[in-house]
Homo-oligomer: A and B are copies of this chain.
């Protein structure tokens, strides 16, 4: 009798177990879009003016370049050419500590991790290269964790770690709470009451996750 009760209790416990579903943005949270862009832009357009990485303001690099260098015809096209080029997304470097942290996160008890990423409008290379990047840096088992969507409010997670400050979509109150991953472009942006995660290296992410685990 005792054995049967224990067995049932374990079964009920498993049924009720709720895992924290963490959504990790890809560009600027796992893959360093800004560094990749800067390096390629300087290489491809060495005579063009540029914005130092620490001076980047606002989410879209193209917007800032067009505003600052409006005297150069087609500066926007030059910028866009960089990230529309084959292998740009594939060759992006890692954000420091991101891959190790993501792997640790995925091994944590009570946590399900997904990569929630939006493709650029010119999706020809970007889509498969995002998958390849994940495959190469995190491993093939991570490919099944990718959620590609322009509208991140549609992803049913508890926590979204994302460097983009304004994330809107079909759902006015998404299931997730947005934690802003710090990047040069958002350091001066008002993020209201939201929390920040500054990096993957000082260990703060572990406390953040433990805190969220307590709250679901």
A residues with a Cβ closer than 8 A to B are 19, 21, 112, 114, 119, 123-125, 127-128, 131, 143-151, 153-157, 170-171, 174-175
CA distance A128 to B71 in the complex (A): 36
Which of B112, B128, B144, B156 is within 8 Å of A156, CB to CB?
B156
When distances are taken between beta carbons in the complex, the residues of chain B under 8 Å from A19 are 170
Which of B112, B148, B156, B170 is within 8 Å of A148, CB to CB?
B148
When distances are taken between beta carbons in the complex, the residues of chain B under 8 Å from A124 are 128
When distances are taken between beta carbons in the complex, the residues of chain B under 8 Å from A146 are 148-150
B154 touches A114 (CB 8 A): yes
Please name the residue on chain B nearest to A124 by beta carbon.
B128
When distances are taken between beta carbons in the complex, the residues of chain B under 8 Å from A125 are 128
B171 touches A156 (CB 8 A): yes
Top 6 nearest A-B pairs (CB, nearest first) are A148-B148, A127-B127, A156-B156, A144-B150, A147-B149, A112-B170
Report 16 cross-chain contacts, Cβ distance below 8 Å, ordered by A residue: A19-B170, A21-B170, A21-B171, A123-B131, A124-B128, A125-B128, A127-B128, A143-B150, A144-B150, A145-B150, A146-B148, A147-B149, A147-B151, A148-B149, A154-B157, A156-B174
A147 touches B156 (CB 8 A): no
